[in-house]
């Protein structure tokens, strides 16, 4: 494919910087407008990762920190595809996740919540998408988690997801939520996203077809990164 | 029948939150899990060029350092080539050009070691969706196919943290590259000339025999750093 730019971000579906109900954003949001940049080679390139960078067990959070037994909690598979806005698979891209354990407790020295740590659960994983853009993780469904925003705010069960794509301009961090969680509509962080349809895009669907009977229940979560312009008016159109 | 555009829509961003380290820098969160954490060595041992140290702090709208920020750096090697199939050529073995930098939880200070990037040369032609063939046949479009002017040495930075809903993009330039900075096409896009200085890292002596650059990022308020919609 010829060098080309990526589609501009649809800012009507992305959270703005200043979202006062999520209080920390107030002092951490720029007040001036961003300068729009036509992309150069600095933006259409980005880091490349390979299987030498990670280990096969890294995508299995049930085993990757287990000491003497499996972690406690609902055993789940999270799987899906990374696509771009043209529905092309994003192959060989690094996907990283992190999350709390079944009690809503994070393994982080700054987390002081009274939910117990699980000695067999670390809470992070990483993998590289295959030639179809497909990825999967095995993990424990995280618990809800209280946080100091309003007096009684609870995060919905969520998994943080980080994806690189093929260029630095596609870099994305987001959060995966679970179908049917009644905390989703109450959460000021979810509500930073202005478009209800865009919020739906963050809710992983229960996927019975991918569940493993008597073992593990599955959720499906597809990720879409910015699409890339193809060169129009070319004789060959397979790039489109 | 109503025509439909069948593009998918980009997944919306969410804040990285205060515990971003668990996923992206678990050692800093307080535990050891991976064979090797990614992003510790930007340039690798074989990179040519001048070794430098960059240090700084991210400051919020109240003037306080942000102590739970994570930055990612993306840069070319000393010849202006990126470690990417479209990066303009070959780089040294082990040069990734990408790094992950976290702040000290107590002070908010961060730093990284790398090599000073070169000017990024206009090896890659970027059009606005117009093929070279068409551009050649139609003078109206030739302007769009013009190569970008060389860019002054710079490091692209992407900043995430609690309270930042979508990663902020900025660039760090080097204050001692005066002539290149004056000619840089991106700095020149910034209409308010006094804001350009917010992207300049200042050389401040040496640390362990290596030139030290200081780069302070102000998220909001006086001398707010320029952020880009890339």
Interface of A with B in 78-137 (CB under 8 A): 83-87, 94, 96-99, 106-111, 122-124, 126
* A223 in contact with B, Cβ within 8 Å: yes
pLDDT higher at A225 or B140: A225
Chain B residues lying within 8 Å of A38, measured CB to CB: 126
Q: Which residue of A has its CA nearest to B222?
A: A31
Q: Do A9 and B10 touch (CB under 8 A)?
A: yes
Q: Across the interface, do B16 and A173 touch by the CB < 8 Å criterion?
A: yes
- Residue holding tokens 């009507």? A12
Nearest 5°: the CA angle B156, B165, A206 is: 115
B130 and A232 within 8 Å at the Cβ level: the answer is yes
Q: Residue A166 pLDDT more than 90?
A: yes
Pairing between β-strand A124-128 and β-strand B228-229 as defined by DSSP bridges: unpaired
Who contacts B194 (Cβ-Cβ below 8 Å, separation ≥6)? none
Q: Do the chains contact at A55 and B156, CB–CB below 8 Å?
A: no
Confirm if B127 and B135 have CB atoms less than 8 A apart.
yes
Looking at the predicted structure, is the pLDDT value of residue A1 above 70?
no
Which chain A residue lies closest to B156 (C-alpha atoms)? A42
**DSSP annotation string for B131-200:** -HHHHHH-GGGHHHHPPPPPBPSEEEEEEE-TT-SSPEEEEEEETT-HHHHHH-TTGGG-SSHHHHGGGE
Give tens-digit pLDDT for A54-68.
999 999 999 999 999
Instruction: Spell out the per-residue pLDDT of chain B, length 230, in tens.
Output: 899 999 999 999 999 999 999 999 999 999 999 999 999 999 999 999 999 999 999 999 999 999 999 999 999 999 999 999 999 999 999 999 999 999 999 999 999 999 999 999 754 455 555 666 666 777 666 555 455 578 999 999 999 999 999 999 999 999 999 999 999 999 999 999 999 999 999 999 999 999 999 999 999 999 999 999 99
- Measure CA B180 to chain center: 17
A38 at interface of B, judged by CB pairs closer than 8 A = yes
- Position A206 scores a pLDDT of 98
* Sign of the C-alpha dihedral computed for residues B127, B131, B132 and B134 taken in this order: negative
The dihedral formed by the CA atoms of B115, A94, A224 and B186, expressed in degrees to the nearest 10: 0
Measured CA to CA, the distance from residue A208 to residue A192 in angstroms comes to: 30
pLDDT, residue B149, reads 75
Query: Predicted ipTM?
Result: 0.95
CB-nearest to A233 from B20, B22, B131 is: B131
CB A46 within 8 A of CB A171: yes
Report the gap between the CA of A64 and the closest CA in chain B (Å): 7
- Report whether A93 contacts A48 (CB < 8 A): no
Give the containing element (helix H, strand E) for B21: helix B20-24
Q: Which of B14, B24, B101, B194 to mutate to test the interface with A (most CBs of A within 10 A)?
A: B14
CA angle B109/A104/A14 to nearest 5° reads 65
| CB-CB neighbors (< 8 A) of B11 in chain A | 172, 174, 201-202, 223-225
Is it the case that residue A112 has pLDDT exceeding 80? yes
- HEC letters along chain A: CCCECECCCCCCCCCCCCCCCCHHHCCCCCCCCCEECCCCHHHHCCCCCCHHHCCHHHHECCCCCCCCCCCCCCEEEEEEEEEECCCCECCCCEEEEECCCCCCCCCCCCCCCCCCCCCCCCCEEEEECCCCCEEEEEEECCCCEEECCCCCEEECCEEEEEECCCCHHHCEEEEEEECCCCCHHHCCCHHHCCCHHHHHCCEEEECHHHCECCCEEEEECCEEECCECCCECCCCCCCC
* Per-residue pLDDT tens digits for A80-94: 999 999 999 999 999
Quick one: pLDDT at residue B129? Answer: 57
Query: CB distance A42–B82 less than 8 Å?
Result: yes
pLDDT in tens, A198-212: 999 999 999 999 999
Distance from CA of A220 to the nearest CA of B (A): 14
Distance CA A101, CA A115 (A): 9
CB B98 within 8 A of CB B138: no
Question: B107 is written with which tokens?
Answer: 């002070």
Q: How far is CA A211 from CA A56, A77, A112, A203, B29, in A?
A: 21, 7, 34, 17, 32
Mean pLDDT of all residues in A153-170: 98
User: CA–CA separation, A134 vs A76, rounded Å?
Assistant: 17
Q: How far away is chain A from the Cα of B60, in angstroms, using its nearest Cα? A: 5
Report residue A186 as tokens: 């109450």
CA–chain centroid gap for A168, Å, is 16
pLDDT at A39 over 90: no
Task: Determine which helix (DSSP H) or strand (DSSP E) holds B24, and give its type and residue range.
Answer: helix B20-24
Q: Which residues of A are catalytic?
A: 106, 145, 155, 158, 160
pLDDT bin (cut points 50, 70, 90) of residue A229 is confident
Q: Check whether A238 has a pLDDT greater than 50.
A: no
Instruction: Provide the 10 A C-beta neighbour count for residue A80.
Output: 23
């Amino acid at each position: 494919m010829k060098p080309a730019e990526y589609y501009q971000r649809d800012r009507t579906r992305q959270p703005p910087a200043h979202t006062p109900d999520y209080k920390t954003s107030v002092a951490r949001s720029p007040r001036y407008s961003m300068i729009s940049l036509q992309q150069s080679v600095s933006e259409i390139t980005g880091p490349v990762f390979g299987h030498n960078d990670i280990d096969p067990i890294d995508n299995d959070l049930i085993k990757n920190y287990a000491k003497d037994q499996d972690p406690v909690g609902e055993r789940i598979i999270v799987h899906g595809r990374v696509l771009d806005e043209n529905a092309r698979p994003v192959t060989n891209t690094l996907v990283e996740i992190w999350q709390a354990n079944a009690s809503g407790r994070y393994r982080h020295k700054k987390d002081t919540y009274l939910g117990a740590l699980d000695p067999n659960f670390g809470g992070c994983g990483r993998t590289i998408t295959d030639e179809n853009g497909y990825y999967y993780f095995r993990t424990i469904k995280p618990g809800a988690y209280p946080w100091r925003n309003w007096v009684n705010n609870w995060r919905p069960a969520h998994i943080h997801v980080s994806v690189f794509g093929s260029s630095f301009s596609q870099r994305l961090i987001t959060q995966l939520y679970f179908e049917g969680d009644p905390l989703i509509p109450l959460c000021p962080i979810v509500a930073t996203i202005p478009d209800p349809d865009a919020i739906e895009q963050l809710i992983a669907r229960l996927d019975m077809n991918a569940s493993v009977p008597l073992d593990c229940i599955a959720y499906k979560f597809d990720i879409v990164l910015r699409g890339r312009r193809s060169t129009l008016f070319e004789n060959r159109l397979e790039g489109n | 029948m109503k025509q439909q555009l069948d593009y998918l829509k980009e997944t919306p961003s969410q804040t990285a939150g205060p515990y971003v380290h668990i996923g992206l820098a678990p050692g800093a969160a307080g535990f050891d899990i991976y064979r090797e954490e990614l992003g510790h060595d930007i340039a690798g041992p074989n990179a040519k060029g001048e070794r430098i140290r960059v240090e700084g702090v991210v400051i919020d709208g109240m003037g306080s350092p942000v102590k739970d920020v994570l930055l990612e750096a993306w840069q070319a090697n000393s010849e202006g080539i990126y470690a990417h199939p479209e990066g303009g050529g070959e780089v040294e073995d082990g040069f990734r050009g990408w790094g992950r930098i976290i702040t000290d939880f107590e002070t908010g200070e961060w730093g990284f070691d790398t090599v000073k990037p070169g000017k990024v040369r206009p090896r890659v032609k970027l059009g606005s969706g117009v093929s070279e063939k068409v551009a050649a046949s139609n003078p109206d479009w030739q302007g769009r196919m013009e190569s970008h002017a060389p860019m002054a040495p710079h490091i692209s930075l992407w900043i995430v943290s609690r309270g930042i809903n979508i990663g902020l993009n900025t660039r760090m330039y080097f204050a001692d590259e005066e002539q290149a900075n004056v000619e840089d096409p991106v700095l020149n896009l910034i209409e308010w000339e006094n804001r350009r200085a917010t992207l300049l890292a200042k050389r401040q002596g040496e640390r362990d025999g290596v030139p030290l650059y200081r780069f302070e990022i102000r998220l909001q308020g006086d001398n707010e750093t320029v952020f880009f919609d890339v």
